[in-house]
Structure 1
Amino acid sequence: MPTSYRAPNRADTTSKKTTSQSATTNLSAAEATVGDLLSGKGNAIYSIRPQDTIGHAVEVLRDKHIGAVVVTDANGALVGILSERDIVRKLADTPGRTLPHKVEDVMTKDVQTISPEEPLVNALKTMTNGKFRHMPVTDATGLIGMVTIGDVVNYRLTALEHEALQMKQLIVG
Protein backbone atom coordinates (compact mmCIF):
# COMPACT_ATOMS: atom_id res chain seq x y z
CA MET A 1 0.00 0.00 0.00
CA PRO A 2 1.44 3.41 -0.91
CA THR A 3 2.47 5.54 2.03
CA SER A 4 0.41 8.48 0.75
CA TYR A 5 -2.84 6.54 1.05
CA ARG A 6 -5.08 7.49 3.94
CA ALA A 7 -8.58 6.17 4.43
CA PRO A 8 -11.19 8.91 3.99
CA ASN A 9 -12.78 10.33 7.12
CA ARG A 10 -15.85 12.48 7.66
CA ALA A 11 -13.93 15.73 7.39
CA ASP A 12 -12.82 14.75 3.87
CA THR A 13 -16.36 14.42 2.55
CA THR A 14 -17.89 17.83 2.81
CA SER A 15 -21.52 17.34 2.09
CA LYS A 16 -22.84 18.83 -1.08
CA LYS A 17 -26.47 18.51 -0.22
CA THR A 18 -28.66 17.85 -3.21
CA THR A 19 -32.39 17.44 -3.15
CA SER A 20 -34.75 16.17 -5.76
CA GLN A 21 -37.35 18.64 -4.54
CA SER A 22 -36.83 22.21 -3.61
CA ALA A 23 -38.93 25.32 -3.26
CA THR A 24 -37.86 26.24 -6.79
CA THR A 25 -38.84 22.95 -8.40
CA ASN A 26 -42.07 22.66 -6.46
CA LEU A 27 -43.14 26.22 -7.22
CA SER A 28 -41.98 26.42 -10.84
CA ALA A 29 -45.32 25.13 -12.18
CA ALA A 30 -47.29 27.41 -9.90
CA GLU A 31 -45.18 30.38 -10.98
CA ALA A 32 -45.55 29.76 -14.73
CA THR A 33 -47.44 32.63 -16.30
CA VAL A 34 -49.78 33.02 -19.23
CA GLY A 35 -46.95 34.93 -20.93
CA ASP A 36 -44.65 31.91 -20.49
CA LEU A 37 -47.20 29.77 -22.31
CA LEU A 38 -47.66 32.34 -25.09
CA SER A 39 -43.91 32.67 -25.63
CA GLY A 40 -43.73 28.96 -26.44
CA LYS A 41 -47.03 28.69 -28.26
CA GLY A 42 -46.96 31.89 -30.23
CA ASN A 43 -49.57 34.59 -30.24
CA ALA A 44 -51.43 34.04 -33.50
CA ILE A 45 -54.92 35.47 -33.21
CA TYR A 46 -57.73 34.75 -35.61
CA SER A 47 -60.55 37.25 -35.59
CA ILE A 48 -63.79 37.99 -37.35
CA ARG A 49 -66.12 41.00 -37.38
CA PRO A 50 -69.50 41.26 -35.62
CA GLN A 51 -71.28 41.72 -38.98
CA ASP A 52 -69.84 38.50 -40.44
CA THR A 53 -72.18 35.55 -40.79
CA ILE A 54 -72.08 32.41 -38.71
CA GLY A 55 -71.40 30.61 -42.01
CA HIS A 56 -68.17 32.58 -42.42
CA ALA A 57 -67.23 31.98 -38.77
CA VAL A 58 -67.72 28.23 -39.19
CA GLU A 59 -65.37 28.28 -42.20
CA VAL A 60 -62.70 30.13 -40.18
CA LEU A 61 -63.01 27.64 -37.31
CA ARG A 62 -62.73 24.74 -39.75
CA ASP A 63 -59.88 26.16 -41.83
CA LYS A 64 -57.78 27.27 -38.84
CA HIS A 65 -58.54 24.12 -36.79
CA ILE A 66 -59.66 26.15 -33.78
CA GLY A 67 -62.59 25.98 -31.40
CA ALA A 68 -63.21 29.69 -30.88
CA VAL A 69 -62.49 32.94 -32.62
CA VAL A 70 -62.31 36.45 -31.22
CA VAL A 71 -64.63 39.11 -32.55
CA THR A 72 -63.05 42.52 -33.07
CA ASP A 73 -64.25 45.88 -34.33
CA ALA A 74 -62.66 47.77 -37.23
CA ASN A 75 -59.95 49.10 -34.86
CA GLY A 76 -59.03 45.62 -33.63
CA ALA A 77 -60.66 46.07 -30.22
CA LEU A 78 -62.14 42.95 -28.63
CA VAL A 79 -65.95 43.02 -28.68
CA GLY A 80 -66.75 39.34 -28.24
CA ILE A 81 -65.80 35.72 -28.69
CA LEU A 82 -67.56 33.05 -30.72
CA SER A 83 -67.07 29.42 -29.80
CA GLU A 84 -68.30 26.16 -31.22
CA ARG A 85 -70.57 25.93 -28.19
CA ASP A 86 -72.21 29.29 -29.05
CA ILE A 87 -72.87 28.04 -32.58
CA VAL A 88 -74.32 24.74 -31.37
CA ARG A 89 -76.75 26.59 -29.07
CA LYS A 90 -77.91 28.79 -31.98
CA LEU A 91 -78.17 25.71 -34.18
CA ALA A 92 -80.51 24.12 -31.64
CA ASP A 93 -82.65 27.28 -31.57
CA THR A 94 -82.75 27.80 -35.36
CA PRO A 95 -82.18 24.44 -37.08
CA GLY A 96 -81.43 24.84 -40.77
CA ARG A 97 -81.38 28.64 -40.49
CA THR A 98 -78.27 29.29 -38.39
CA LEU A 99 -75.54 30.06 -40.94
CA PRO A 100 -77.02 33.36 -42.26
CA HIS A 101 -77.24 34.88 -38.74
CA LYS A 102 -74.77 37.61 -37.78
CA VAL A 103 -71.90 36.81 -35.40
CA GLU A 104 -72.95 39.71 -33.13
CA ASP A 105 -76.28 37.94 -32.50
CA VAL A 106 -74.62 34.73 -31.33
CA MET A 107 -71.25 35.70 -29.82
CA THR A 108 -70.49 35.96 -26.12
CA LYS A 109 -70.22 39.69 -25.45
CA ASP A 110 -69.05 39.54 -21.83
CA VAL A 111 -65.58 38.16 -22.58
CA GLN A 112 -63.30 37.20 -19.73
CA THR A 113 -59.69 37.99 -20.51
CA ILE A 114 -56.41 37.40 -18.73
CA SER A 115 -53.12 39.28 -18.67
CA PRO A 116 -49.78 37.70 -19.62
CA GLU A 117 -48.48 38.29 -16.06
CA GLU A 118 -51.19 36.11 -14.48
CA PRO A 119 -50.17 32.67 -13.23
CA LEU A 120 -51.30 29.82 -15.47
CA VAL A 121 -53.12 28.29 -12.54
CA ASN A 122 -55.41 31.38 -12.49
CA ALA A 123 -56.23 30.86 -16.17
CA LEU A 124 -57.09 27.24 -15.47
CA LYS A 125 -59.31 28.15 -12.51
CA THR A 126 -61.10 30.89 -14.46
CA MET A 127 -61.81 28.64 -17.43
CA THR A 128 -62.91 25.75 -15.22
CA ASN A 129 -65.19 27.91 -13.08
CA GLY A 130 -66.63 29.71 -16.12
CA LYS A 131 -67.04 26.45 -18.06
CA PHE A 132 -65.27 27.76 -21.15
CA ARG A 133 -62.16 26.54 -22.93
CA HIS A 134 -60.75 29.65 -24.63
CA MET A 135 -59.58 32.92 -23.11
CA PRO A 136 -58.15 35.96 -24.88
CA VAL A 137 -54.95 37.43 -23.45
CA THR A 138 -54.79 41.21 -23.22
CA ASP A 139 -52.36 43.81 -22.01
CA ALA A 140 -52.33 47.62 -22.04
CA THR A 141 -52.02 47.59 -25.84
CA GLY A 142 -55.05 45.32 -26.34
CA LEU A 143 -55.43 41.76 -27.57
CA ILE A 144 -52.12 39.87 -27.69
CA GLY A 145 -53.06 36.19 -27.85
CA MET A 146 -55.39 33.36 -26.93
CA VAL A 147 -54.95 30.50 -24.50
CA THR A 148 -57.00 27.34 -24.32
CA ILE A 149 -57.50 24.88 -21.54
CA GLY A 150 -55.69 22.38 -23.78
CA ASP A 151 -52.69 24.74 -24.00
CA VAL A 152 -52.53 24.97 -20.21
CA VAL A 153 -52.79 21.21 -19.73
CA ASN A 154 -50.17 20.56 -22.44
CA TYR A 155 -47.81 23.13 -20.88
CA ARG A 156 -48.13 21.45 -17.49
CA LEU A 157 -47.68 17.93 -18.93
CA THR A 158 -44.51 19.04 -20.70
CA ALA A 159 -43.24 20.55 -17.44
CA LEU A 160 -44.02 17.31 -15.59
CA GLU A 161 -42.16 15.27 -18.22
CA HIS A 162 -39.17 17.59 -17.86
CA GLU A 163 -39.28 17.30 -14.05
CA ALA A 164 -39.48 13.50 -14.28
CA LEU A 165 -36.46 13.46 -16.61
CA GLN A 166 -34.50 15.67 -14.21
CA MET A 167 -35.36 13.38 -11.29
CA LYS A 168 -34.33 10.31 -13.31
CA GLN A 169 -31.00 11.97 -14.15
CA LEU A 170 -30.46 12.77 -10.46
CA ILE A 171 -31.12 9.14 -9.52
CA VAL A 172 -29.09 7.56 -12.30
CA GLY A 173 -26.33 10.13 -12.13
Structure 2
Amino acid sequence: MKTVAQIIQTKQIQQVHTIDADDTVLAALQRMAEHNIGALPVTENGKVVGVISERDYARKCVLQGRSSIGTKVRELMNSPVITVSPGQSVADCLSLITHRHLRHLPVIDNDQLVGLVSIGDLVKETIAEQEELIRQLEQYIRGEV
Protein backbone atom coordinates (compact mmCIF):
# COMPACT_ATOMS: atom_id res chain seq x y z
CA MET A 1 0.00 0.00 0.00
CA LYS A 2 1.28 3.45 -0.90
CA THR A 3 2.28 6.12 1.57
CA VAL A 4 1.10 9.69 1.87
CA ALA A 5 4.43 10.86 0.38
CA GLN A 6 3.77 8.80 -2.76
CA ILE A 7 0.28 10.28 -3.13
CA ILE A 8 1.64 13.82 -2.77
CA GLN A 9 4.22 13.12 -5.49
CA THR A 10 1.56 11.92 -7.93
CA LYS A 11 -0.57 15.02 -7.32
CA GLN A 12 2.22 17.14 -8.82
CA ILE A 13 1.18 20.18 -6.83
CA GLN A 14 3.95 22.74 -6.52
CA GLN A 15 2.50 24.61 -3.56
CA VAL A 16 0.04 23.97 -0.75
CA HIS A 17 -2.21 27.01 -0.50
CA THR A 18 -2.93 28.22 3.01
CA ILE A 19 -4.83 31.01 4.75
CA ASP A 20 -3.97 32.88 7.93
CA ALA A 21 -6.25 32.42 10.93
CA ASP A 22 -6.84 36.19 11.13
CA ASP A 23 -7.84 36.55 7.46
CA THR A 24 -11.50 36.93 6.62
CA VAL A 25 -13.66 34.05 5.48
CA LEU A 26 -14.20 36.00 2.23
CA ALA A 27 -10.41 35.90 1.59
CA ALA A 28 -10.44 32.14 2.20
CA LEU A 29 -13.33 31.65 -0.23
CA GLN A 30 -11.58 33.77 -2.85
CA ARG A 31 -8.38 31.73 -2.49
CA MET A 32 -10.29 28.44 -2.76
CA ALA A 33 -12.10 29.67 -5.87
CA GLU A 34 -8.90 31.00 -7.43
CA HIS A 35 -7.16 27.64 -7.07
CA ASN A 36 -10.24 25.44 -7.57
CA ILE A 37 -9.85 23.73 -4.20
CA GLY A 38 -12.33 22.91 -1.44
CA ALA A 39 -10.25 23.45 1.68
CA LEU A 40 -7.27 25.34 3.04
CA PRO A 41 -4.92 24.61 5.91
CA VAL A 42 -5.08 27.52 8.36
CA THR A 43 -1.80 28.89 9.64
CA GLU A 44 -0.75 31.08 12.54
CA ASN A 45 2.87 32.15 12.98
CA GLY A 46 3.87 29.66 10.29
CA LYS A 47 2.27 26.67 11.98
CA VAL A 48 -0.84 24.79 10.85
CA VAL A 49 -3.58 25.35 13.45
CA GLY A 50 -6.69 24.25 11.58
CA VAL A 51 -8.46 23.60 8.29
CA ILE A 52 -11.28 25.59 6.71
CA SER A 53 -13.46 24.19 3.94
CA GLU A 54 -16.38 25.21 1.77
CA ARG A 55 -18.45 22.93 3.96
CA ASP A 56 -17.46 24.92 7.06
CA TYR A 57 -18.47 28.10 5.28
CA ALA A 58 -21.88 26.71 4.36
CA ARG A 59 -22.65 25.29 7.79
CA LYS A 60 -20.98 27.74 10.14
CA CYS A 61 -21.36 31.00 8.23
CA VAL A 62 -24.21 30.96 5.72
CA LEU A 63 -26.65 28.86 7.74
CA GLN A 64 -25.96 30.93 10.84
CA GLY A 65 -26.45 34.24 9.03
CA ARG A 66 -22.85 35.38 9.52
CA SER A 67 -20.99 37.66 7.14
CA SER A 68 -18.01 36.30 5.22
CA ILE A 69 -16.56 39.82 5.22
CA GLY A 70 -16.63 40.32 9.00
CA THR A 71 -15.91 36.78 10.14
CA LYS A 72 -12.34 35.61 10.74
CA VAL A 73 -11.17 32.22 9.51
CA ARG A 74 -10.32 31.21 13.10
CA GLU A 75 -14.03 31.44 13.98
CA LEU A 76 -14.99 28.75 11.44
CA MET A 77 -11.91 26.54 11.12
CA ASN A 78 -11.77 22.97 12.37
CA SER A 79 -9.32 22.93 15.25
CA PRO A 80 -7.33 21.34 16.77
CA VAL A 81 -5.95 20.20 13.46
CA ILE A 82 -5.44 16.50 12.81
CA THR A 83 -2.40 15.88 10.63
CA VAL A 84 -0.53 12.95 9.11
CA SER A 85 3.11 12.34 8.24
CA PRO A 86 4.48 11.48 4.79
CA GLY A 87 5.28 7.92 5.88
CA GLN A 88 1.74 7.02 6.90
CA SER A 89 -0.15 4.56 4.74
CA VAL A 90 -3.29 5.20 2.75
CA ALA A 91 -5.10 2.72 5.01
CA ASP A 92 -4.07 4.67 8.13
CA CYS A 93 -5.36 7.90 6.59
CA LEU A 94 -8.65 6.34 5.47
CA SER A 95 -9.19 5.00 8.97
CA LEU A 96 -8.48 8.42 10.48
CA ILE A 97 -10.77 10.20 8.03
CA THR A 98 -13.56 7.69 8.60
CA HIS A 99 -13.42 7.69 12.39
CA ARG A 100 -12.96 11.46 12.74
CA HIS A 101 -15.41 12.41 9.96
CA LEU A 102 -12.79 14.46 8.09
CA ARG A 103 -12.35 15.24 4.42
CA HIS A 104 -8.84 16.72 4.36
CA LEU A 105 -5.60 15.92 6.17
CA PRO A 106 -2.63 18.31 6.24
CA VAL A 107 0.66 16.47 5.82
CA ILE A 108 3.39 17.63 8.20
CA ASP A 109 7.08 16.70 7.98
CA ASN A 110 9.57 18.17 10.47
CA ASP A 111 6.98 20.74 11.62
CA GLN A 112 6.52 21.93 8.01
CA LEU A 113 3.38 21.66 5.86
CA VAL A 114 4.34 19.55 2.83
CA GLY A 115 0.96 18.63 1.42
CA LEU A 116 -2.74 18.09 1.84
CA VAL A 117 -4.54 14.84 1.07
CA SER A 118 -8.28 14.60 0.61
CA ILE A 119 -10.65 11.71 0.98
CA GLY A 120 -10.87 11.73 -2.83
CA ASP A 121 -7.09 11.26 -3.14
CA LEU A 122 -7.21 8.33 -0.74
CA VAL A 123 -10.20 6.63 -2.35
CA LYS A 124 -8.70 7.05 -5.82
CA GLU A 125 -5.49 5.36 -4.67
CA THR A 126 -7.40 2.54 -2.96
CA ILE A 127 -9.39 1.84 -6.12
CA ALA A 128 -6.22 1.84 -8.24
CA GLU A 129 -4.56 -0.64 -5.89
CA GLN A 130 -7.62 -2.93 -5.93
CA GLU A 131 -7.80 -2.80 -9.73
CA GLU A 132 -4.12 -3.79 -9.94
CA LEU A 133 -4.65 -6.67 -7.51
CA ILE A 134 -7.63 -7.92 -9.56
CA ARG A 135 -5.53 -7.71 -12.75
CA GLN A 136 -2.75 -9.73 -11.12
CA LEU A 137 -5.16 -12.35 -9.80
CA GLU A 138 -6.78 -12.72 -13.22
CA GLN A 139 -3.35 -13.24 -14.78
CA TYR A 140 -2.54 -15.84 -12.14
CA ILE A 141 -5.79 -17.70 -12.73
CA ARG A 142 -5.18 -17.73 -16.49
CA GLY A 143 -1.64 -19.03 -15.87
CA GLU A 144 0.03 -15.98 -17.36
CA VAL A 145 2.35 -15.41 -14.41
Question: What's the TM-score bracket when you normalise by the shorter of the two chains?
Answer: 0.7 to 0.9
Instruction: Give ranges in structure 2 of 5+ residues lacking alignment.
Output: none
Q: TM-score when scaled to structure 1?
A: 0.73
Q: Which has the higher strand share?
A: 2
Identity of aligned residues (%): 30
Taking the aligned partners of 2:3 and 2:126, their CA distance within structure 1 comes to: 11
Residue 172 to residue 60, structure 1, CA distance change in 2 (3 Å): farther
Distance 1:90 1:130 in 2: 22
Aligned to 2:62: 91
- Amino acid in structure 1 at the alignment position of 2:137: M
Moved more, 86-95 or 53-62: 86-95
Q: How does 1:1-40 map to 2 (within 5 A)?
A: 29=1, 32-40=2-10
Deviates more, 1:58-67 or 1:120-129: 58-67
Whichever residue aligns with residue 83 of structure 1, its letter is S
Partner residue in 2 for 1:59: 30
Report deviation, 1:77: 1.5
Aligned to 2:47: 77
What value does the CA root-mean-square deviation take over the aligned residues?
1.9
- For 2:3, give the aligned amino acid: T
| Residue 138 of structure 1 pairs with residue 102 of structure 2 | no
- Structure 1 residue 87, shift from structure 2 partner: 0.9
SS at the partner of 1:93?
A: coil
Question: How far 1:123 moved relative to its partner?
Answer: 0.7
Specify the code of the residue in structure 1 equivalent to 2:49.
V
Aligned residues: 141
Is the counterpart of residue 125 in structure 1 residue 92 in structure 2?
A: no
Runs of 4 or more, structure 1, over 4 Å off, are none
Distance 1:59 1:172 in 2: 55
Match of 2:120 in 1: 150
Answer yes or no: is 1:68 the counterpart of 2:39.
yes
